[in-house]
Chains A and B, each alone.
Chain A
Amino acid sequence: MTVMVAPVTEIAANRTEGARRWYALARVSIAAYVFFAAVFLTVPVLIVILVSFDTADYVQFPPSGMTLKWYARIAASETWRTAIVNSAIVGVGSTLLAVVTGVPAAYLIARRDFRGRNALLALLLSPLTIPWVVFGLAILNFWGAANLPRNLFAIIVAHSVIGVPYVVRTCLAVLVNISPSCELAARTLGADQKRAFMLVILPMIQMAIISGAIFCLLISFINVPVPLFLTTASTPTMQVAIFSQMLSNTDPTVAAVSTIQLAMILLAFYIGQRVARLGDFL
């Protein structure tokens, strides 16, 4: 036995030494990875922000001076103002629509056992897997075939379809952890089905709803391909306007619009994080 002990301890010591080196290497690699990921994510965005304040008439880096004239130009431009308002309408409208359809759907999927439940869930989540370009083309064809006008409402509907999976997923994540007996308890205490839902379930999933709604809003803001198919000259969204501006125009107005949009998204995230701990659902 004593003969065995010495080599075993030695091996263990070597192994510990090896593991220590390995961990040190892993730590350095991860730190480097995170650093470069952060640089690649933020530096281009920071450049856009800087460019939006540049005095030069074209996009250049480093900037040559400081001005707010591009922002003033946006404020003065009918096109940009319309685009921003359109984006806001589409964002809020599609979010409301996604919440109104997604929350009951999530509730049904979590609480009721019915034929086609899994199919319904797959259908509701499928927009996550369909390329936006394909979806945009599809809904354009559908809208044309149904002879419906290509107005803001069309974009609202399309965006709500894309946003619904986020609402369904955040709500489902919470609903499956709520004991069904909570609702049953409310029923025995005298609440009918509607009041049990409104007074017990809804308050318990409100954070999930807010989180899902903010995701919807963001997805609507950043979506280019879908509105690209559905907009007309009179109904551009911010993204479409940026996109078409980029094709024809190289002045920093685009950078300024992008900065405004970035500010809106950050604000939504900040509010979401403060109100509903959005990070829990990411």
Chain B
Amino acid sequence: MTSIARHVRVDEVIQDSPATMAVEQNRKMPICEPGRAEIDPISDLSLDGVTKQYNDTVAVREMSFEARPGEFVSFLGPSGCGKTTTLSMIAGFQSVSTGMIHIRGRRVDGLPPEKRNTGMVFQDYALFPHMSVGENVSFGLRMRHVPKDEIRRRVDAALALVRMSSFADRRPSQLSGGQKQRVALARALVIQPDVLLLDEPFGALDRQLREQMQFELRTLQQSVGITTVFVTHDQEEALLLSSRIAVMNQGAIEQIGVPTEIYEAPATIFVAKFIGKSNFITGTVVSATGGGTSIDTAIGRITLPSPKQGAVVAGQSIECMVRPEKVRIVRPGATLDGEIHARGVVQQMAYHGASTEVILRLAGDVEFAILQSNRDMALVADIVSVGKEVDVAWPRAAMLLFINGRRWG
């Protein structure tokens, strides 16, 4: 509740102060560009040109980013992309080589972890085995010399929040994975941290429990209104939980945006390949005018409306991408106007229950995946089987173009 109140105050500040108008302007600009030196003094967390260098390797490169109050930001990327290093630098476990970190406008990159007021949940929960659940949760308050009766009140409230009130006297070893995680969350939240840091907290849980805990975490995070940074390599988790996702690769943010943006409009080939499945068809630009761009590909000539920004020249190599679920299998001659179509031989079919994945081999040996709901699949079941040739089609708008690894448009 306190956080929601703070949220309101922050909004009032934005409205009242002319000085912050510029900040508002800045916010609309891309946040992830390297080297950009904008600090929003009222963001809950900001990284500004943060670099982490070990001897001659760079783990995190010129990273700038900010989290707005109440936001749930995920760092998503393959292992070794620098996401955990970034989290460690925010928490204070590792120093920054260059750059600044601010938490609620306070510069923290020179402070030890205990002075940063962050709450952290670790992958292995890191509960203290020699303390009871209640003692674990009260630890942070005891470190802060909070009066005894207030400690009791706040610990009770925190345990109630995660529905663990009746477990206060248990030892961590007597808890299940999900219960341990709830306790770890209560322990992190009870100190009313400025930001909540989550380091792959669902990694150790089985699938069903993981989904339940994800739902609980999201509900809790929203009701408490705490700014949260979440590190994961699980794209589904990131898409499900985040207000924004920062996709990281080789120590830098490739793209930062809301989940639909990341999925529907990936900024780079890396993001397109890392999030969800994607089909790439390589082509060569034949002509590009205001009216449209023609591309020669293995499946024939494709003509698409030219994006407004950026220009290409004839002869340039270009990657065309479409998501498997945007493609549908059609009966011969049943394609619609304005659609791109192709023909391929069914290589494999994988039944997923609600959907079926069909792998085609298109002309020019292009492998092509299609994800079709089983309701749609039923309509074409008679013409689709392994070894048969089928027609597929997808809307022009579903085709994304990439030049030199970056999306055109």
Contact = CB atoms under 8 A, between A and B. Distances in A.
Interface in B254-271: none
B140 interface: yes
Contacts of A192: 112, 114
Contacts of B126: 179, 181-182, 184-185
Contacts of B122: 179, 181, 184-185
A193 B92 CA distance: 12
Contacts of B322: none
Interface in A182-197: 182, 184-193, 195
Given A179-B124, A181-B122, A181-B124, A187 B113 contact: yes
B408 to A, nearest CB: 43
B128 A182 contact: yes
A181 B129 CA distance: 12
Contacts of B184: 185
A203 interface: yes
B130 interface: yes
A127 B126 CA distance: 35
A182 B122 CA distance: 9
A204 interface: yes
A173 to B, nearest CB: 16
Contacts of A108: none
B118 interface: yes
Nearest to A185: B126
Contacts of B113: 184, 187-188
Contacts of A199: 139
A181 B120 CA distance: 10
A88 interface: no
Contacts of B143: 189-191, 195
B93 A184 contact: yes
Interface residues of A, number: 18
B323 interface: no
Contacts of B188: 188
A200 B116 CA distance: 20
B144 interface: yes
A188 B129 contact: no
Contacts of A182: 126-128
B393 interface: no
A186 B184 CA distance: 12
Interface in B94-131: 112-114, 116, 118-120, 122-124, 126-130
Nearest to B93: A184
A75 to B, nearest CB: 43
Given A195-B143, A203-B130, A204-B130, A188 B119 contact: yes
Contacts, number: 65
B120 A190 contact: no
Contacts of B118: 188
B191 interface: yes
Contacts of A191: 114, 139, 143
Judged by DSSP, the binding face of A is: helix
B91 interface: yes
Contacts of B114: 187-192
Contact of A185 (B116, B120, B130, B144): B120
Interface string B321-355: 00000000000000000000000000000000000
Q: Which of B92, B130, B188 has the most CB of A within 10 A?
A: B130
A199 B197 CA distance: 23
A200 B144 CA distance: 16
B120 A200 contact: no
A186 B128 contact: yes
Interface string A188-227: 1111110100011001100000000000000000000000
Contact of B120 (A179, A184, A204): A184
A186 B139 contact: yes
A27 B112 CA distance: 60
B180 interface: no
A204 B129 contact: yes
A195 B130 CA distance: 15
Interface in B11-38: none
Contacts of A195: 143
Nearest to B184: A185
B52 interface: no
A196 to B, nearest CB: 8
A188 B116 contact: yes
B342 to A, nearest CB: 50
Nearest to A193: B112
A192 B92 CA distance: 12
B61 interface: no
Nearest to B122: A181
Contacts of A188: 91-92, 113-114, 116, 118-120, 188, 193, 197
- 6 A-B pairs with least C-beta separation: A190-B143, A189-B140, A181-B126, A187-B113, A185-B126, A181-B122
Given A185-B184, A191-B139, A193-B112, 15 more contacts: A181-B123, A182-B126, A182-B127, A184-B113, A185-B120, A185-B187, A186-B139, A187-B92, A188-B91, A188-B119, A189-B140, A189-B143, A189-B187, A190-B143, A204-B129
22 contacts: A179-B122, A182-B128, A184-B93, A184-B120, A184-B126, A185-B120, A185-B122, A185-B127, A185-B187, A186-B128, A187-B93, A187-B114, A188-B116, A188-B118, A189-B187, A190-B191, A191-B114, A191-B143, A193-B112, A200-B128, A203-B130, A204-B128
